[in-house]
Amino acid sequence: MHKLSIAELSRNLKNKVFSSVEATRHFLERSKKLNPEFNAYITLTEEQALAEAAEADKRLAAGDDNVLCGVPIAHKDIFCTNGVRTSCGSRMLDNFIPPYDATVVANYRAAGAVMLGKTNMDEFAMGSSNETSWYGKVRNPWAPNCVPGGSSGGSAAVVAAMMAPGATATDTGGSIRQPAALCGITGLKPTYGRVSRWGMIAFASSLDQGGVMARSAEDAAILLNAMASYDSKDSTCINEPVPDYTATLHNKLEGLRIGLPEEYFGEGLHPEIQAAVEDAIKILEKRGASIKKISLPHSHLAVPAYYVIAPAECSANLSRFDGVRYGHRCEDPKDLMDLFKRSRGEGFGEEVKRRILVGTYALSAGYYDAYYRKAQQVRRLIKQDFDEAFNDVDVILGPTAPTPAFEFGAKGNDPVAMYLEDIYTIATNLAGLPGMSIPCGLVDNKPVGLQLIGQAWDEARLLNVANEFQHHSDFHTWTPGGLA
């Protein structure tokens, strides 16, 4: 059953081939068996899941026609879930049980989807290897000695190991696409403002965006249909109509103009990944797409700009964790300063502290113009590069990550080496554009990803291109060896 797609699960549920309780129990059993090995879930919500499934079965019996009704999925532990611990991968929130749902969670609840559990992640979504989680590293289902990518490493591993057919995730600089690539699954980061951030614990507010992970573009489209909504509780959520993303999945690609940015195929890219991406592009060419070389000339500034903006925003966003109203509080604080410093010092891990320090520096008196303002200017230049490029092309293609999954500890104490993992994904967040990663082969027996970048609000086209690609290739059906 775990090999079924969301679309297939949905059909079987509708046709009463099995019930939601049966499907849910199956995925829970599988998760309980596999999770000790992969550590992809922080929390499995067995009891609640079965209750939700029973509820979904009632809805199905009453003729509920929602595609996701009764389908079990997993939520990244960054989305607040009413009554269920939401840790954000941090010791700071190890004891945090929110009395409210994120809008994304509420949307899936309303659609009748069943929550299996909360997935592991880099602490506060800061990381590209899932090694910064307070709950320990997640193992890549394809190569258990390697990272799954991050920050949504748990969601990616859950989907790759078929512990859930789909999962929610978030992407601030590549946190959906890079782990999707490293775990050989399909991940979509929507346009900034497409998905409500209400109840999604903030890392960098102007970059964070919720998105989906699944094993195919079709399933990603089904998940996005339920996730995307206008939400007045998030001022940055934009009131754009939400199309039916499944309706255009099979559009022909004839006439599609694909742009290949020269900056995404340069030094640092693993040659075999380059070859895999080029082979993938040939498949699309065969479907009638035309290829054009383009330039995104400010690409080299994306990582530096991001590492000013994201830390600056996070330095303020994480100030609310002060040991007063919720979360970790140090033992016997001797005064207020001690309460703040020790609660935060103990509650946050190294990477989070590093980014708070960098952000504090970038915003501090005398440095604002040189760093923050400058980064915001560069951000506009990067956006303008994309605007320019999209005058001539419909989608931009390239590699998702420069390397396949690497071994634990490989980036050691070098934060900058880790940051360069997101060299191809970060610009998309700065520009607020939708991006996808789909599997396009194996390098060293580890999956690699093809990245698709679209214009704002053009998720439907990305899903269409991805779906057509997946109809004419089978990379997305490959599963990790040894995982039946």
Partner 1 sequence: MNPSDVEKLAHLARLEISDDTIAEVSKSVSEVIKLVDQLQAASTEGVEPMAHPQDALQILRSDEVTEGNVRDAFQAIAPATEDGLYLVPKVID
Partner 2 sequence: MEWETVIGLEVHVQLATKTKIFSGASTAFGAEPNTQACAIDLAMPGTLPSPNAEAFRYAVMFGLAIDAEIGKRSVFERKNYFYPDLPKGYQTTQLAEPIVGAGHVDIQLEDGSEKRIRIHHAHLEEDAGKSLHDLSSSIASQGMSGIDLNRAGTPLIEIVTEPDIRNAEEAVAFARKLHSIVTSLGICDGEMSQGSMRFDVNISVRLKGEEEFGTRTETKNLNSFKFMEKCIHQEVERQIDVLEDGGTITQETRLYDGETHTARAMRSKEEANDYRYFPCPDLLPVILTDDYIEDLRQSLPELPDARKQRFQQDYGLSSYDAGVLGSDAATAHYFESCATAASDAKLAANWVMGEISARLNAEEISISHAKVSAEQLAGLISRIKDQTISNKIAKQVFEAMWAGEGDADSIIDTKGLKQVSDSGAIEKLVDDVIANNPQQVENYRKADDAKRPKMLGFFVGQIMKASKGQANPQQVNKVLLDKLNA
Of residues 359-398, those binding partner 1 (CB under 8 A): 360-362, 364, 370-371, 373-381, 383
Mapping DSSP onto H, E and C, the string for the chain reads CCCCCHHHHHHHHHCCCCCHHHHHHHHHHHHHHHHHHHCCEEEECHHHHHHHHHHHHHHHHCCCCCCCCCCEEEEECCECECCECCCCCCHHHCCCCCCCCCHHHHHHHHHCCEEEEEECCCHHHCCCCCCCCCCCCCCECCECCECCCCCCHHHHHHHHCCCCCEEEEEECCCCCHHHHHHHCCEEEECCCCCCCCCCECCCCCCCCEEEEEECCHHHHHHHHHHHCCCCCCCCCCCCCCCCCCCCCCCCCCCCCEEEEEHHHHCCCCCHHHHHHHHHHHHHHHHCCCEEEEECCCCHHHHHHHHHHHHHHHHHHHHHHCCCCCCCCCCCCCCCHHHHHHHHHHHHCCHHHHHHHHHHHHHHCCCCCHHHHHHHHHHHHHHHHHHHHHCCCCCEEEEECCCCCCCECCCCCCCHHHHHHHHCCCHHHHHHCCCEEEEEEEEECCEEEEEEEECCCCCHHHHHHHHHHHHHCCCHHHCCCCCCC
- Closer to partner 1 by Cβ: residue 9 or 358: 358
Q: Which two tokens stand for residue 37?
A: 């090995």
- Closer to partner 1 by Cβ: residue 311 or 447: 311
- Closer to partner 2 by Cβ: residue 205 or 295: 205
Q: What's the min distance (Å) between Cβ of 430 and partner 2?
A: 13
| Catalytic, out of 10, 19, 76, 189 | 76
The pattern of x and - marking residues 322 through 351 that bind partner 1 according to CB under 8 A reads xxxxxx-x---xxxxxxxxxx-xxx-x-x-
The pattern of x and - marking residues 211 through 250 that bind partner 2 according to CB under 8 A reads ---------------------xxxxx--------------
Please select the residue that binds partner 2; options are 89, 98, 166, 179, rule is CB under 8 A. 98
Q: What's the min distance (Å) between Cβ of 378 and partner 1?
A: 5
Please confirm, yes or no, whether 205 is among the known catalytic residues.
no
Please select the residue that binds partner 2; options are 18, 265, 326, 478, rule is CB under 8 A. 326
Written as one letter, the residue type at 172 is: T
φ, ψ of residue 412 to 5 degrees: the values are 45, -135
356 binds, among partner 1, partner 2, none (CB under 5 to 8 A by kind): partner 1
- Regarding 11 and contact with partner 2 (CB under 8 A), the answer is no
- Closer to partner 1 by Cβ: residue 5 or 172: 172
Q: What's the min distance (Å) between Cβ of 122 and partner 1?
A: 16
- Regarding 322 and contact with partner 2 (CB under 8 A), the answer is yes
Please confirm, yes or no, whether 175 is among the known catalytic residues.
yes
Which range in 20-28, 193-201, 244-252, 429-437 contacts partner 2 by CB under 8 A?
A: 193-201
φ, ψ of residue 258 to 5 degrees: the values are -105, 130
Q: What's the min distance (Å) between Cβ of 406 and partner 2?
A: 31
Which range in 1-9, 158-166, 317-325, 452-460 contacts partner 2 by CB under 8 A?
A: 317-325
Please select the residue that binds partner 1; options are 65, 357, 392, 407, rule is CB under 8 A. 357
378 binds, among partner 1, partner 2, none (CB under 5 to 8 A by kind): partner 1
- Closer to partner 2 by Cβ: residue 86 or 479: 86
What is the longest distance spanned by two Cα atoms in the chain?
A: 70
Q: Which two tokens stand for residue 294?
A: 């383009």
439 binds, among partner 2, partner 1, none (CB under 5 to 8 A by kind): none
Please confirm, yes or no, whether 133 is among the known catalytic residues.
no
Of residues 401-430, those binding partner 1 (CB under 8 A): 413-416, 419, 430
The pattern of x and - marking residues 221 through 240 that bind partner 1 according to CB under 8 A reads -----------x--xx-xx-
Q: How many residues bind partner 2 (CB under 8 A)?
A: 43
- Regarding 354 and contact with partner 1 (CB under 8 A), the answer is yes
- Regarding 58 and contact with partner 1 (CB under 8 A), the answer is no
Active site residues: 76, 151, 175
What does the binding site for partner 2 look like in residue numbers (CB under 8 A)? Answer: 79-80, 86, 88, 93, 96, 98, 100, 102, 197-202, 204-206, 232-236, 312-313, 315-316, 318-322, 324-326, 336, 340, 360, 363-365, 368, 372
